[in-house]
Structure 1
Amino acid sequence: MSPATSVRALTVILAGLLAVDPVGLRPASADPIPADRAGLDSYIRDYLMSNPEVVRDALLKLEQDEQVANTKRVLLEHKDAIYAAGSPEIGNPDAKVTIVEFSDYNCPYCRATYPELKSFLKENPDTKMVLKNVASFGKDSEAVARIVIAASKQGNFEALHDALMTQKGQVTEERALDVAKGLGFDIDRIKANAAAAETAETLAATQKLADQLSVNVTPLYVIGHHGVAGAPDDLAAQLNAHAESVRKNGCEVC
């Protein structure tokens, strides 16, 4: 928060304190609260000087509220691109809760969190994941992303996603095609679709969206107006908390 913003915030806080009955600010043994404006101003000033944590906590709360409001604004602005039909999905197609994951099949943290996400979807049958492959790990990742986009048009996508996320070592175009072939996908059709301009545009749009949302780490999960970055130890707990919030309060930005 900038100094100017802090000053404005402090003004708001003080104005709010003066506009309401400040009984809650009075210690049990304090003198009666002055009734006149000058006395009340002095009372509040003395209280804040003696209890500076009140201002600190209020400023922190205001900053958090501003961050949430800004996040909602950005997500609403890009709502269609985030939840656009056509992105590969796994989970319940009629889900109440949607989690958007920005990832890369060669991202070690994406692979590390995948078993936890798979369990989360199984334990929460009212959820689904929209997968945004940003292909940030080089040419191999870009080639795999094209194959995945193309393969998603053939159905049975969840099996392919599972197989690619559980691979060991670098996933290349050749390996991705071998995996798809083993799962019964039409490889000639995948190759044709992967090379199509439409697939390139889809991938470019995803990468542009990631830039607009300042996605600088994978995986990144968006649930409602909340985001979870990387592979935190409490990933499942955070996902559960945010999913429950969406169930109870709806989603303003979905």
Structure 2
Amino acid sequence: MRRLWQSLCIFLMVASTAVYADDLSEDRIKELVLEAIRENPEIVLEAVQIIEQREQERQAAAAATVLSENRDILENDPNAPVLGNPDGDVTVVEFFDYNCPYCRRVKPQIEALLEADPNVKLVYREWPILGDGSVFAARAALASREQGKYEEFHWALMGMAGRAEEATVIRVAEEVGLDVAKLRRDMNAPEIDAHIAASMEMSRALGFNGTPSFVIGDALVPGVIEAEQMIQLAQEARASGQ
């Protein structure tokens, strides 16, 4: 609200040529603002839109800086699972949660992308933000790398019915042939803590506030995305050298 008042006051002072700002007290400015609002109520909406646009521009600029400074760790983190073509010329990064219904909805879109473009490197950032079950699932998935079954386990967890909780995750682990005792031990590895902590930090820095969220070249894309758009963004990233 204070920012709205400031914007309205600026609007009034710029628009007014009858008086100088130095001659007005804050109370008088507010009176004039209220008069202006009564006569032109649409200026409130205009001021709010200006504030929102400037904030969006500020956030976009900040995210672009973060992306530029952290592109290498985003795309080449040795502690992040990679699907698709590890040597691909375009990298798609997905931040996701196994209990996110939208992440599950985007699963076939990801599969279609990988099928359509064999030169896409898909980097997964486990970002468990939907409860203890999500944390358990993320830790188990990351631990499955020690048995060479991350990809199989990942798709199985994404395709499971119901929530990912300890019991259901262990059931799926058994179904894909994982050694559950070893899996539980490996879930406590420090590199798993490091991966999840890095995902939390990078997602906040990039301005993401939910899953799924994607980084494709210079594009930051929150939410569900269709395969056609992914393919297009991958082609644009390839053309721009990203």
What is aligned with 1:119? 112
The corresponding residue for 2:148 is 155
- Cα offset for 1:67? 7.4
Query: 5+ residue gaps in structure 2?
Result: 1-5, 8-54
In the alignment, which of 93, 99, 104 is matched to residue 100 of structure 1? 93
Following the alignment from structure 1 to structure 2, what is the Cα–Cα distance between the partners of residues 71 and 136?
20
Q: Does 1:197 align with 2:190?
A: yes
In the TM superposition, what is the alpha-carbon distance from 1:66 to its structure 2 partner?
A: 8.2
Residue identity (%):
35
Name the TM-score, length of structure 1 as normaliser: 0.68
2:74 aligned to which of 79, 82, 87:
82
Does 1:247 pair with 2:229?
no
Once the two structures are TM-superposed, the CA of residue 99 in structure 1 deviates from its matched residue by: 0.5
- Are 2:126 and 2:195, in contact at CA under 8 Å, matched by a contact in 1? no
SS of the residue 2:214 aligns to: strand
Return the alpha-carbon distance in structure 2 between the equivalents of residues 174 and 103 of structure 1.
20
Q: Is the 8 A contact 2:136 2:166 kept in 1?
A: yes
The residue aligned with 1:225 is 218
After superposition, the C-alpha distances for 1:34-64 in whole angstroms (9 at most, x for unaligned) are xxxxxxxxxxxxxxxxxxxxxxxxxxxxx99
Q: Which residue type is aligned with residue 170 of structure 1? A: R
Which amino acid in 2 is paired with 1:220? S
> What does residue 187 of structure 1 align with?
180
**Which residue number corresponds to residue 17 of structure 1?**
none
Contact 1:71 1:225 (8 Å CA) reproduced: no
- Indicate the residue corresponding to 2:227 in structure 1: 236
- Say if 1:180 and 1:187, in contact at 8 Å, map to a contact too: yes
Question: Once structures 1 and 2 are overlaid, which stretch shifts more, 64-73 or 236-245?
Answer: 64-73
1:214 aligns with 2:214: no
Q: Note if 1:72 corresponds to 2:67.
A: no
Report the RMSD for the aligned CA atoms in angstroms.
2.4
Which whole-Å CA distance do the structure 1 matches of 2:175 and 2:146 have between them? 17
Structure 2 residue identity aligned to 1:76: S
Question: Matches of residues 46-61 of structure 1 in structure 2 within 5 Å?
Answer: none
Shift of 1:91: 0.9
2:82 alignment partner AA: E
1:91 to 66, 84, 94: 84
Secondary structure of the corresponding residue to residue 168 of structure 1: coil
The answer (yes or no) to whether the contact 2:112–2:227 under 8 Å persists in 1 is no
- Mapped partners of 1:219, 1:85: distance in 2: 21
**Structure 1: 5+ residue stretches without partners:** 4-62
Q: CA deviation at 1:236?
A: 2.1
What secondary structure is seen at the aligned counterpart in 1 of 2:80? coil
| Matches of 1:104 and 1:134, distance apart in 2 | 6
Return the alpha-carbon distance in structure 2 between the equivalents of residues 200 and 65 of structure 1: 33
The answer to whether the Cα contact below 8 Å between 2:85 and 2:118 also exists between their aligned partners in 1 is yes
